[in-house]
Amino acid sequence: MQGTLPIFRRELSGYFATPVAYVFIVIFLILTGIFTWQLGGFFERGQADLRPFFDFHPWLYLFLIPAVSMRLWAEEHKSGTIELLMTLPVSRGGAVAGKFLAAWAFCGVALALTFPLWITVNYLGDPDNGAIVTGYIGSLLMAGAFLAIGACVSAATKSQVIAFIIAVVICFLFLLAGFPPVTEFLKGAQMPEAVISAVTSFSFLTRFDAIAKGVIDLRDLIFFSTLIACCLVMNAFILEAKKA
């Protein structure tokens, strides 16, 4: 994919060229701290691990990741720079991959800056560091899935606000897919077991929870990777269709 690296470098440096990136990171770190120590009842649990930290990630990402992804293509469409971008010696796939990887790397930086929490739990006790590592891997993969969905939506509209709202709604549906009330509703509606299993298989909550517990199932990795790839392909098709 021609041009991926230059686009990646341009986009990633662009994040840190404005105060918005630093505001996002500060908000993310503050919220993770509040959710871990206060709402997660870290000290009340009497157990040194990062389960409270990871339990809130899907809900944090539900709003924070679409806030990152909404500008990826919508801003290009609104400002008219999309035409200039597409005239550069960059393939459509390269542009899509470069923008996505830059945004994903930015989210990875924000996630990596939570390392003091990891140091703290090791100071306070003897946690399962293997489970913590898998939790971080799962969190990064889930962030990538949220981001790929948001990027795909952003490519379809000129409005960042509309891109944000639609991305939140779609991501929320992926979270609800594994929510117990939804499963119970489907059972109460006499849905076939195959349908219930199919709906549940799309749940971010279920798949991330398994990884955060230290269980790396190849099916979960394939699910997130496939979803990211499919969304990026759709992203490229949407850009091609809008160009036509």
Is residue 149 predicted with pLDDT exceeding 90? yes
Q: What pLDDT does 188 receive?
A: 66
- pLDDT at 224 (0 to 100): 92
Identify the pLDDT of residue 187: 67
Quote the pLDDT of residue 6: 84
Quote the CA–CA distance of 33 and 21 in Å, as a whole number.
18
Which residue is associated with the tokens 């720079």?
Answer: 81
Give, in order, the Cα–Cα distances in Å from 42 to each of 27, 47, 114, 162, 212: 20, 7, 16, 37, 16
Tell me the pLDDT band of 189, cut-offs 50, 70 and 90.
low
State the burial class of residue 217 (Cβ atoms within 10 Å of its Cβ: 0-12, 13-18, 19+): exposed
- The pLDDT value given to residue 202: 80
Give the SS3 label for residue 134. helix
pLDDT band of 186, cuts 50, 70, 90: low
Q: What is the mean pLDDT of residues 213-220?
A: 84
Q: Is the pLDDT of residue 71 over 60?
A: yes
124-148 per-position pLDDT tens digit: 878 888 888 999 999 999 999 999 9
Q: What pTM did the predictor assign?
A: 0.89
- Higher per-residue confidence, 186 vs 174: 174
> pLDDT band at residue 95, thresholds of 50, 70 and 90?
confident
Let me know: does 78 contact 158? Beta carbons within 8 Å: yes
| Beta strand ranges found along the chain (DSSP E) | none
pLDDT band for 112, please (50, 70, 90 cuts). very high
Give 81 or 151, the one with higher predicted confidence.
Answer: 151
Share of the chain above pLDDT 90, in %: 27
Average pLDDT over residues 192-211: 78
Q: For residues 123 and 42, what is the distance between their CA atoms, to the nearest angstrom?
A: 14
Rounded CA gap, 145 and 65, in Å?
A: 10
What pLDDT does residue 91 have?
Answer: 78
pLDDT of residue 169: 93
What does the H/E/C string look like for 55-85? HCHHHHHHHHHHHHHCHHHHHHHHHCHHHHH
- Domains of the chain, by residue range, sit at 4-243
Contact 199, 182 (CB under 8 A): yes
On the 0-12 / 13-18 / 19+ scale of CB atoms within 10 A, 89 is: exposed
30-65 pLDDT, tens digit each: 988 888 877 666 666 667 678 888 888 899 999 999
Q: Which two tokens stand for residue 230?
A: 């499919």
